[in-house]
Every structure is written in C-alpha cells, then in structure tokens.
Amino acid sequence: MAPLPAGRACLALLKASAAPGKASLVLPIGKPVIAYLRPIPTAPGCLDARDVALLSDWRNRFVKSFLTEFVAHPARTAAWLAGPVHGNDGKILFMVESLDGTPLGHIGLAFIDWTSGYGEADAIVRGGDAPPGLMKLALQTTLKWARDQLGLISLGVRVRSDNTALEFYRKVGFTETKRVPLAREEHGGDVTWSESAGLAGAEASLVYMLYQES
C-alpha cells in the first residue's frame, strides 16, 4: 500500500493532467479493457464544456438522489467544478467513458482524510446508455485504485434511504453500518436534507455504508 503522502500527490497529479482536448491519464476498467475513467478537468478557465453540460443535465435528471436539490445549469456546475472540486485535495471526479469516448456516467471520490486513510465514493451517476454491470465495475475499479494507489485504508459511501441505488451499493460490496434521520428544509425553491439524529418520523434517512472488498 502506498504511503498516504504519495497518495495525495498521485491524486493531485491525476487532477492536474485533465484538460479538454488533450490526452490525460485514465484508469482502465475491466480485463480486457471495456471502458475508461477519465478525470474531469476542474482548473478555472480550463473546463470541458461537454462535461459541464452533461453534469448539469444528469444532476437535474437525478436530483432526488442528492442531499441538495436545485436546478443545475452550466454556470452553476462550472463554478462548482472550479471551486469546491478543484480546490479540494481530497476530491476528484471521473467521467466513465466507452472505448470510443462516449460519456456514460460519472464517479467521484471525496471526503478523503489523508491522516486516517478514509475516503468516500461520491457523485455516482449513470447518465448514458451504459451496458449492464459497467457502473458496478467502474466503481469497484475506482475503489481499488483508491486503496492501491492512494493508500486509503477505509472506504465508505453515504446514500439517501429513498434512493433506489441503495441496492446497487450492496451489490458493489458496501455494507450498511448506520442510519441517521434527515430533516428537509426548503428555501427559495432549493431543498436541503440535513442529518437530525433525534428526528422522529423522518421522510428519509442517510445510510452510512463501508466497503468490503471481496
């Protein structure tokens, strides 16, 4: 397992290699390779317009899967990529692409604690016409890379209990550890779900899961 400082440098290098219209480092999916994980460019002024448009469209399509519900648009998505994603050394987002470069979805790693070696799968969305089993294999590839190359020791995911993807995570290899009730708040048309441990009769809960590699 790589030392954690080297893992942080590895993630930074992969993010820095991403630029629209240029070759970048990618993670191969499958043996033989059937698809790729391409790091999504996040540097300010160096975003990929197609990525931004797809991320916006897919987020709107699956808005009920997130803890924040709002209408995404390219300007807002671009600001998110160039700000919270680019500026966070514990966060990366990959586009899942077929061998011919067709975007099929995206997968991220986030909430990385380089001291403890913990990280989470994040922003997993199947947006295109991905063949059966591809997103599962893509996520397992991401998690293996996080362990083998970043040196992460423990990997988790958090998902809303009303999200149909809950069973998907179980099939990937995640095991539920706890549930925390979620409180719903609405402001100006945007909805935020936040943890509220003592809330009774909550509409949904946040399910915490840990990855158990088979």
**All structural domains of the chain:** 4-153 (3.40.630.30)
Pick from 11, 9, 5: nearest CA to 146: 11
Global pTM reads 0.94
Q: How far apart are CA 45 and CA 19, in angstroms?
A: 10
Q: How far apart are CA 103 and CA 99, in angstroms?
A: 10
Q: What is the mean pLDDT of the chain?
A: 95
The amino acid sitting at 115 is T
Decide: helix, strand or coil at residue 87: coil
The amino acid sitting at 189 is G
177-210 per-position pLDDT tens digit: 999 999 999 999 999 999 999 899 899 999 999 9
DSSP code string of 29-61: ETTTT-EEEEEPP-STT---HHHHHHHHHHHHH
104-122 per-position pLDDT tens digit: 999 999 999 999 999 999 9
- Is 67 exposed, middle or buried, given 0-12, 13-18 or 19+ CB atoms closer than 10 A? middle
Q: How far apart are CA 108 and CA 142, in angstroms?
A: 8
Q: How far apart are CA 111 and CA 119, in angstroms?
A: 5
Residue 61's φ and ψ, nearest 5 degrees, are: -65, -35
Pick from 146, 153, 113: nearest CA to 37: 146
pLDDT at 43: 96
134-173 per-position pLDDT tens digit: 999 999 999 999 999 999 999 999 999 999 999 999 999 9
